[in-house]
Amino acid sequence: MQIIEGLYYSKDHEWVKVEGDKAYVGISDFAQDALGDIVFVELPEIGTNLIQGEALGSIESVKAASDVYCPVSGKVIKVNEILVDDPALLNEDPYENWMICVELTEKDQLDQLMNSAEYEDFCNEEA
């Protein structure tokens, strides 16, 4: 299982990559592996104000549907539309294929997330 250094991770297996005041959000390798073949992705509208913990959209595999929760509050400024046409990209490379980009409104929320080492321990406990 792949975990990338320098990202923030949530207990729901989303990752956050911070670039200045912006943050990219996606799902982790652990999440894509648990879901299996991803066949459907639903993303929010640009301009949506998401609150930390709110569903940003959903991912469906053959087996099940899962909500994806936004680990940080922010206004959606970009969505990765390619995923809607090719959801399997999330299985192929979940870190390259971000889902949304938000303008961070509460940067200190990042302190509540895990770093890569903490997240690795967390996944080992879950497995």
Partner 1 sequence: MSTLKRTVLFNEHIKLKANMIDFGGWEMPVNYPEGILEEHLYTRKKAGIFDVSHMGRFVVTGKEAAKFLQHVLTSNVMALNVKQAQYTIIPNENGGAIDDAYVYRFGEDEYWLVVNASNAEKDWTHLTNEIKNFDAEIENISDDYAMLALQGPESKNILSKLSKDPYLNEPAKNSLDIIELDGKEVRISKTGYTGEPMGFELFLKAEDAPAIWNSLMENGAKPMGLGARDTLRLEAGFPLYGHEFGTDINGEEIKIFSVPLAKFAVSFAEDKGDFIGKKALLNQFEALQRIMKKDFSDITDLPKILRLFALTDKGIGRNGFKVFKDGVEVGYVTSGTMVPYYKTEVNGLNDVQKEEKDIRAIGIALVDSHVVVNDQIEVEIRGKRAKGIIVPYHMKADIPPFTRPIIYG
Contact residues for partner 1, defined by CB under 8 A: 36-37, 39-40, 58, 60, 62-63, 65, 84, 91
User: Strands 55-61 and 49-50, how do they pair?
Assistant: unpaired
User: Strands 49-50 and 74-79, how do they pair?
Assistant: antiparallel
Q: 42 or 103: whose CB is closer to partner 1?
A: 42
CB of 84 to partner 1, least distance (A): 8
CB of 42 to partner 1, least distance (A): 8
CB of 58 to partner 1, least distance (A): 7
Beta strand ranges found along 1-127 (DSSP E): 8-9, 14-19, 22-27, 38-42, 49-50, 55-61, 65-69, 74-79, 100-104
> For 52-66, b where at least 16 C-beta lie within 10 A, e where not — what string?
beeebbebbbeeeeb
CB of 70 to partner 1, least distance (A): 16
Q: 97 or 109: whose CB is closer to partner 1?
A: 97
Q: 4 or 39: whose CB is closer to partner 1?
A: 39
Q: 37 or 106: whose CB is closer to partner 1?
A: 37
Spatial separation of the C-alpha atoms in residues 85 and 40, rounded to whole Å: 8
